[in-house]
Amino acid sequence: MCYFNPMSISEFTLIQHYFASQALCRADVLLGVGDDCALLKVPPGASLAVTLDMLVAGTHFLSDADPEGIGHKSLAVNLSDLAAIGAVPAWITLGLSLPAADETWLAGFCRGLFKLAVQFQVQLVGGDTTRGPLTITIQAHGFVPLDKALRRNGARPGDAICVTGTLGDAGLGLAIVRQQLSVPAGHAGYLRTRLERPVPRIRQGLELRGLASAAIDISDGLAQDLGHILERSRCGARLTVDRLPRSPALLACVEAEAAIVLALTGGDDYELCFTVPPRHLEQVRALAAGWDCAFTEIGVIEVESGLRCQREDGTLYKIQRPGYDHFA
Ligand SMILES: [Mg+2]
């Protein structure tokens, strides 16, 4: 029940029109959008992986940001969580709070959302819309065979610490969007794309099942997110900061030392950080040779708790700034 300035029937019809426009129709959706509930079929032998992310205008993106990019990112961050646990994406539900039923915005948002959804064969199966400050909540569902999920608590001393892709690009992209920094247009475009159109590493998550001992997606910065693995696995780690993968654009736009800080602490990269026991390392290296993103070994899990960073020559490196904290 809504007592104040609810959306009119025509506004709801308009919004429903946009969300009915998805092309995908999965066989495991017995009943999709339009009834009281969706009816969905989980494959036998699979557990259902469920994750939810909320994107708030002004906190997670600027209110005037490109709606297509917002549509992409609001789904991508959820798929990234499914990737981190090794799940195959299947369905999403969407909660949308909008200041007004703005057709241009809705059309752009749906373009970005459904393009990525089709790419990963994800179907929208339900949701709710209300008038209010621009907020997008997506709950994503995926499948992972029982006992095959990549969890945060399996890292053991001696395991290699690895990451996909390059780190720090999105952090620098944010500084560019906030106009804290101006860089050459070519690099700016690349860095903004890394911030606004993250690529969920679904394939990598699936291939790492049974090989990686722990995994997480990097949303708040490598140091902070690796810290979650260390906490849950009750161990520590040593990173060699000179090995952190940094893109040519990042290295062209900031000093080498600033690039390391961004790679360690910049948020929003949505790459995977995972640990690999020595006995599986050769196999993971071979698989990674076929990936469409970089694979880099950046450190090792140790018995002593805490995260230690060093230079290539073994000298200590002190982290200058912790990762992004939403409540800082
Ligand atoms: Mg996550």
Cβ–Cβ < 8 Å for 221, 260:
no
- The pLDDT of residue 3: 61
Cα-to-centroid distance, 6 and ligand 1 (Å)? 34
Q: Which residues contact 228 (CB under 8 A, 6 or more apart)?
A: 152, 216
Cα-to-centroid distance, 140 and ligand 1 (Å)? 12
The one-digit pLDDT tens for each residue of the chain (328 residues) are 556 667 776 777 777 788 877 778 999 999 988 888 999 999 999 999 999 999 998 888 887 889 999 999 999 999 999 999 999 999 999 999 999 888 899 999 999 999 999 999 999 999 888 899 999 999 999 999 999 999 999 999 999 999 999 999 999 999 998 888 888 888 999 999 999 999 999 999 999 999 999 999 999 999 999 999 999 999 999 999 999 999 999 999 999 999 999 999 999 999 999 999 999 999 999 999 999 999 999 999 999 999 999 999 999 999 876 555 444 3
- The pLDDT of residue 101: 84
Query: How many residues comprise the chain?
Result: 328
* Cα–Cα–Cα angle for 88, 138, 222, rounded to 5 degrees: 70
Cα-to-centroid distance, 219 and ligand 1 (Å)? 6
Cβ–Cβ < 8 Å for 302, 240:
no
Q: Are strands 123-131 and 88-98 parallel, antiparallel or unpaired?
A: parallel
At how many degrees (to 10) do helices 169-177 and 185-196 cross?
A: 110
> Residue 20: what are its φ and ψ, rounded to 5°?
-85, -5
Distance CA 172, CA 166 (A): 12
What number of other Cβ atoms are within 10 A of residue 136's Cβ?
A: 23
Cα-to-centroid distance, 83 and ligand 1 (Å)? 9
Cα-to-centroid distance, 142 and ligand 1 (Å)? 14
Element (H, E) at 300: strand 295-302
Cα-to-centroid distance, 133 and ligand 1 (Å)? 24
Cα-to-centroid distance, 80 and ligand 1 (Å)? 7
Q: What is the 3-state secondary structure (H, E, C) of 37-67?
A: CCEECCCCCEEEEEEEEEEEECCCECCCCCH
Cα-to-centroid distance, 270 and ligand 1 (Å)? 8
Q: Which residues contact 92 (CB under 8 A, 6 or more apart)?
A: 75, 78, 117, 122, 123, 124, 125, 138, 139, 140, 141
Cα-to-centroid distance, 84 and ligand 1 (Å)? 7
Cα-to-centroid distance, 108 and ligand 1 (Å)? 26
Cα-to-centroid distance, 281 and ligand 1 (Å)? 24
- What is the model's pTM? 0.93
Cα-to-centroid distance, 99 and ligand 1 (Å)? 28
Write the DSSP assignment of 116-176 as a string of letters.
Answer: HHHHTT-EEEEEEEEESS-EEEEEEEEEEETT----SS---TTPEEEEES-SSHHHHHHHH
Residue 318, Cβ density class (10 Å: 0-12 exposed, 13-18 middle, ≥19 buried): exposed
Cα-to-centroid distance, 51 and ligand 1 (Å)? 9
Distance CA 299, CA 161 (A): 5
Distance CA 163, CA 297 (A): 7
